Amino acid sequence: MRHFNENKFHETYKFALFHKQIQLLYINMKKRTGKQPSCGIDEGFQEAITAHMSTRAYLEGRTMYWDADKEEITRG
């Protein structure tokens, strides 16, 4: 039987919610200005996740890594 990791669940949920917020922000910006934003959803997401990882690394005093296959932040 697989053990349920509540912290991992919450981290994955927060990540999914964060990604959805980036998408909605992109769409809203495009609607308001009628122009293409200076970067796409993927680029904006990469910038945002990098900032999020650096903040977490600073606050937790740890190195953070991005696991592209699982699309999650892992601690160093």
Q: Which are the contacts of 15, defined by CB distance < 8 A and separation ≥ 6? A: 71, 72, 73
What does the pLDDT look like over 36-61, one tens digit per residue?
A: 767 777 887 888 888 888 988 999 89
Q: Compare 73 and 17 and report the one with higher pLDDT.
A: 73
Q: Tally the C-alpha atoms within 13 A of residue 14's C-alpha that lie toward its C-beta.
A: 10
Residue 1 forms part of a structural domain: no
Check pLDDT > 50 for residue 4.
no
pTM, full prediction: 0.54
Residue 19 forms part of a structural domain: yes
Residue-range definition of the domain harbouring residue 26: 6-75
Residue 53 forms part of a structural domain: yes
Mean pLDDT for the chain overall: 77
DSSP 3: P
User: How confident is residue 1, by pLDDT bands cut at 50, 70 and 90?
Assistant: very low
Say how far apart CA 36 and CA 55 lie, in whole Å: 29
The number of distinct structural domains making up the chain is 1
Helix, strand, or coil (residue 6)? helix
